[in-house]
Structure 1
Amino acid sequence: MVSINASIGTEPYRIDIKSPTGNVVIADEPLEKGGQDKGFSPKELLASSLGACTCATVRMYAERKTWLLEKINVSVDLIEEEGQTKFIRKIELVGNLDDSQRTRLLNVANACPIHKILTHTIVVETALV
């Protein structure tokens, strides 16, 4: 289980997000939505989760295989249109890799935990405390 705490005071719309281990991320809304643009927007955080998970998962696999992967660059666009949310993910693998290794790493990227979460049924349960 992953657990975070998010809180907002009176400063528009700064949100402090804290992990149980003490890590802190600031989220905010862009200026055009009344925020101060001091952090990632909530949608940017969502897209960032996919990018970060992709990078970590591919890196772990390549290290386990001792493949010569120097760098992984991932860009993620989150597009909402016609009642659908679409993530466009582009992965650049920098290093001395053959075509079969590149194909395998693409398959690994598609199996990262956040990819799996986003492509399976999601349930959000909400309660007031």
Structure 2
Amino acid sequence: MNKIKATIGAQKYKTEIQAKNHIITADEPVEVGGQDLGFTPTELLESSLAACTAMTIRMYADRKAWDLQEAQVNVSFKRNIKTHLVTFKKQIELIGNLTSEQREKLLEIGKKCPIEKIIKGEVAVASKLI
């Protein structure tokens, strides 16, 4: 089951995350006791949505042979403490020679990325000690 493996040692809160032969570092900011050596877990979540959206837009534009030179996706989220509602905010900038119809279609396609579908769906997490 080792699709993603996170390992933390004695060093607060530096965590190495491995997927296949790729390793990234996660950490917490200095103000909460970390060393700011990598993305926070929240930033990793936001990054997943941003990357997935950008890739989905790129794939569709390539399939249609549209002149998309670059897509920039900025993501943040806020959690309402009272209602527990989490709201993600995506800002998408499309650079290239695109019609307004193409731009709207790429916005629509970006909403269909697999990570957005996961976030919007019912999610369960099953944890066990091994």
Q: TM-score range by the shorter chain?
A: over 0.9
Q: TM-score, normalised by structure 1?
A: 0.95
Deviation at 1:2, TM superposition (A): 8.5
1:1-129 → structure 2 map (5 Å cutoff)? 3-20=3-20, 22-81=21-80, 82=82, 83-129=84-130
Alpha-carbon separation, structure 1, partners of 2:75 and 2:3: 24
Alpha-carbon separation, structure 2, partners of 1:88 and 1:110: 12
Which deviates more from structure 2 when the two are superposed, residues 119-128 or residues 77-86? 77-86
Q: Which runs of 5 or more structure 1 residues have no equivalent in the other structure?
A: none
Deviation string 1:26-78 (CA, Å, 9 cap, x unpaired) is: 00011111000000000000000000001111001101111000110110011
Alpha-carbon separation, structure 2, partners of 1:78 and 1:17: 22
Which amino acid in 1 is paired with 2:33? G
Deviation at 1:86, TM superposition (A): 1.1
Deviation at 1:107, TM superposition (A): 1.1
Aligned residues: 128
Alpha-carbon separation, structure 2, partners of 1:40 and 1:68: 32
Alpha-carbon separation, structure 2, partners of 1:92 and 1:127: 41
Alpha-carbon separation, structure 2, partners of 1:32 and 1:120: 34
Q: TM-score, normalised by structure 2?
A: 0.95
Alpha-carbon separation, structure 2, partners of 1:39 and 1:7: 14
Alpha-carbon separation, structure 2, partners of 1:36 and 1:108: 38
Which amino acid in 1 is paired with 2:55? A
Q: Which runs of 5 or more structure 2 residues have no equivalent in the other structure?
A: none
